[in-house]
Amino acid sequence: MASRGSTSSTNGLLPPLSNHDEEAGPGKAFDDDGIDPLTSDPFDIAHTKNAPLETLRRWRQAALVLNASRRFRYTLDLNKEEEKEQRRRMIRAHAQVIRAALLFRLAGERQIVLGPTATTSTPTGDYAVSLEQLASMTRDHNISALQEYGGVKGLSELLETNLDRGINGDETDLLRRRKSFGSNTYPQKKGRSFLRFLWEAWQDLTLIILVIAAVVSLTLGIKTEGLKEGWYDGGSIAFAVFLVIIVTAVSDYRQSLQFQNLNQEKQNILLEVLRGGRTVKISIFDIVVGDVVPLKIGDQVPADGILIAGHSLAIDESSMTGESKTVHKDQKAPFLMSGCKVADGVGTMLVTGVGINTEWGLLMASISEDTGEETPLQVRLNGIATFIGIVGLSVAVFVLAVLLVRYFTGYTKNPEGKAQFVHGKTSVSSIVDGVIKIFTIAVTIVVVAVPEGLPLAVTLTLAYSMRKMMADKALVRRLSACETMGSATTICSDKTGTLTQNQMTVVEAYVGRKRINPLGDSWQLHPVLSSLLVEGIAQNTIGNVFVPKGGGDMEVSGSPTEKAILSWAIKLGMNFDLVRSESVVLHVFPFNSEKKRGGVAVKRNDFEVHIHWKGAAEIVLASCTGYLDSSGCLQSIEEDKEVFKAAIDDMAASSLRCVAIAYRSYELDKVPTDEEHLAQWVLPEDGLVLLAIVGIKDPCRPGVKEAVKVCTEAGVKVRMVTGDNLRTAKAIALECGILATSEEATEPTIIEGRAFRELSEKEREQVAKKVTVMGRSSPNDKLLLVQALRTGGEVVAVTGDGTNDAPALHEADIGLSMGIQGTEVAKESSDIIILDDDFASVVKVVRWGRSVYANIQKFIQFQLTVNVAALVINVVAAVSSGDVPLNAVQLLWVNLIMDTLGALALATEPPTDHLMHRSPVGRREPLVTNIMWRNILVQALYQVIVLLVLNFWGRNILHLNHDNRAHAVEVKNTMIFNAFVLCQIFNEFNARKPDEINVFTGVTRNYLFMGIVGITFVLQIIIIEFLGKFASTVKLNWKQWLITIAIGVLSWPLAMIGKLIPVPETPFGNCFQRCTTARNA
């Protein structure tokens, strides 16, 4: 056995010895490992997210494991992270050599074809620069080589790229580029083959012992009884073992394929590129050399490249260099490495290297995707498996000792009633054969008693849930998040795009003191005002407007807010390209979620400098000293500030997002002239002139009110955290049902981020429980709220889409990033990606989280019932009669039903509405509840009584006294075996609904469950009727079949009656602990 065993008293069957709230987060009651120091139970890990390696190593060492390679397959490989870091350092030092070796190997495996450009540094083929020249320049960050090509402009000409419009992007052009420079893919390590899974399933120590015993039995049988009759005992055990191995391997292999598919989904990043003057969204795998890629905060650099232009561009290169500091990129340091993240600023890059011609590609090709990760439930189930295993092992040793003593003392009888061992008369081969049979039974009890499949059932249900969650628009990045969502007590949700549709349109606009109506009427604006307004909108944006050459509708790209404002400007007559050509951008201050505004400095053709700002209306308004009225005259804002504030409040009360657009003039001679000082120039943000205030409508998503109501009924509090002002936040919260009435909207229920930030840590913890809506919040405010809630014992799920949301996503128990609007940094920090950005999908994740937990409990109830019944029957029979009614082959078949088939049937139940009418699952609640204990005891007691009655008085009850004794015993044992298996088949239905009277609800819709039950029943008929020699059974007549079926069917009404028995709310484990404590006292 690959274990020392556990000294724990809990193992998930009982709650940990703690007086703290069972929902407790990582507060002071627990140490940094998430372990209650009072219990020091290695299996009591509340959260495996960011858990120390020592904690993870501790529970592995404590687990009782028969097959370590299989049991720990889906847990974190503790050595892999260190190995990955060593590879990263090696690739940085020897990239060229590694790439050459990899290319040679792949060519040998015929995975790629080495073209002429892969081995020569002279320009050949379709382009005036070769693959090796590009790879060498980028790898060595060789500025002089770049200058020899004429800088980025000269290099773009060699690559036939227009820096303003990108490549043509037609199929011929893309194929030519892939042929010359490769594709942005890398050879992935092949997943385990089916044969590997067969080999791992075979590693089970008890199965190996059984096979050895079968071989010895086979040899002795053939020697004593001849080939025709002597192979049955040994051959049937061997065949049963191989059947278990094959079914186990098939199940594991299917899971592996599901994880592979999910990993491919995780790697498929969508990003924007410029092709033919149009911004298009493509997969990262479709990037080619020569592509022009816009970069913004939070993006992943998709390939190696050269910076074309950028403003305040800072790159986090820690994924490649291992150094956490950000590196600023400009024309002096223009080289960008694939796999790094944009930490700040904006820019555009020219792609010069893709796939395995980049260091990131080499790294990805040399390491396999690590799917290993423990989940708290998996760890706890290993604790249960260890506890049951120790009991089962003790029982097996006891049975072995009893059977051996009875055998050698002559109390063990053969079917004819004669003693199997007579001193001095029984041959050595008969003794060996008898001992092997006894030993085989004891080992088989261990196989049944040690539930290897129990921890793996978590992986099975998680794999199933993850696949189904993809259909519900949720991509799981961390397995543990699936089950932790079942414990979530609060969801801190963004407003924009999650609760709302993220389809924004400008519906109100104030220019000067005048409201523009209709919105697209430019005649209401003075030419000077109109010119400044469209200049500010066109230049102070990361969006784009594409005008098709042949006519047709304009295509507006960018964030939803940018698109709404650009679309409004187009209605006012803005010619995007013309306006941008009339001025040159000097410096950009990208929109910042802390400051809630973004700015740009431009130099017009008449050498006048304008600084344009755009952002949260009340924040920009506070920086304004004047405004342009509708006649284009500059007016002081002091007297009219309240008018503008009232306009903002009115729009906010109508659920509109308010954005102000302002500008100021600046002296050209004050603008820094050298590049270094210009990059560090802080744009002036005082003395602004207000140009316009716009109100943008973002309607609530349909169904969001119902989704919030479902959460409330399920005991999950929904909190809204938004950057919008409090009035807008309040209006949306009322519309979504987060706030029930306007009367609720008082502090601290509705609070501003700044006010929350200024509280002390203890005050924040008190206030956080009451907060329902937080407006004008920064990402740091969201992080403080998450920390305060977790300290107060909440299990927190948080949504986020921006780069600055990463700390909150990382800190939360479950981080949910947005698939459409989310940045790559946010996605990498999250546990689950909501692919459609919809709050209703978040609620579906909660349902699935609860379903994972409920399914595992169903399987535990089913498995423990089988464990208890099988062990008691065999122990009582062994002690009393020296023989066991269930032989090795029969127990292996029961093990197959109980482990693999049972897990498939019960761990893949879809979620039901009933799950959302319960409170969240406490993270420290015992896995086996009082209700489950009641159900287990009722069923196990029934099975034990009925089968022991059959075992001791079966010959009389079944009127077999007149039959041949040997045949009567075979019929009786066959009846016991058949009744036992049928009890398990019918009990599978009971396990579906542990706390409901009607266990058949929705069963016909679960085709997998019905299929497995049907297959199990058919196979049982085949075993009894046609495989008598193999399973040591005899054919039963129709009356005997009816009796065994009736015994099985009786478990249904018995379960219904049993569910009427009341159970205390306090877990039995707590009562046991109190008794123990009182006795010790």
729-741 b/e with 16+ CB inside 10 Å = b?
Answer: bbbbbbbbbbbee
Do the bridges between strand 278-283 and strand 292-295 make them parallel or antiparallel, or are there none, so unpaired?
A: unpaired
Specify which residues 658 forms β-bridges with. Answer: 695
Q: How far, in Å, CA of 936 to CA of 441, rounded? A: 25
| Residue 1046 backbone phi and psi in degrees, to 5 | -60, -40
Residues 6+ apart with CB under 8 A from 871: 391, 392, 395, 445, 448, 449
CB atoms within 10 A of CB 197: 23
Beta-carbon count within 10 A of 176 CB: 17
Helices 930-957/965-992 angle, 10° precision: 160
Per 3-state DSSP, the chain is made up of helix, strand and coil in percentages (nearest 5) of: 50, 15, 35
The structure tokens 């893949």 sit at: 908
Residue count of the chain? 1081
DSSP 53-102: HHHHHHHHHHS--S-HHHHTTTS--TTHHHHHHHHHHHHHHHHHHHHHHH
Beta carbons of 876 and 945 less than 8 angstroms apart: no
- Dihedral sign for Cα 289, 295, 299, 300, please: positive
C-alpha span between 624 and 689 (Å, rounded): 5
Give 313: exposed, middle or buried? Use CB within 10 Å, 0-12, 13-18, 19+: buried
Closest CA to 62 of 2, 13, 120: 2
One-character DSSP codes across 480-531: HHHHHGGG--EEEE-STTTTB----EEEEEEETTEE-SSTT-GGGS-HHHHH
Active-site entry in 33, 204, 494, 805? 494
Burial class (CB in 10 A: 0-12, 13-18, 19+), 1065: exposed
> Are the C-beta atoms of residues 167 and 292 closer than 8 Å to each other?
yes
Instruction: Report in angstroms the alpha-carbon separations of 593 from 590, 597, 699, 781, 825.
Output: 10, 7, 22, 11, 15
**CA distance to 308, 835, 1063, per residue, from 166 (Å):** 12, 28, 70
According to DSSP, the β-strands at 555-557 and 544-546 are antiparallel
In whole angstroms, give the CA distance from residue 362 to residue 445: 50
Output the 3-class SS for 144-181.
HHHHHCCHHHHHHHHCCCECCCEECCCHHHHHHHHHHH
Nearest 10 degrees: CA dihedral of 66, 67, 71, 72? 120
The HSE-up count of residue 815 (CA atoms within 13 Å, CB side) is: 27
CA distance 635 to 637: 6
Task: Determine contact, residues 532/572, Cβ cutoff 8 Å.
Answer: no
Phi, psi of 273 (to 5 degrees): -135, 160
Specify the pairing of strand 832-834 against strand 796-800: unpaired
31 catalytic per annotation: no
d(CA 1035, CA 1023): 9
Q: Is the dihedral of CA 697, 702, 704, 709 positive or negative?
A: positive
Residues 6+ apart with CB under 8 A from 92: 320, 321, 359
Instruction: Determine the Cα–Cα distance for residues 536 and 609; give it in Å rounded to an integer.
Output: 12
Active site residues: 494
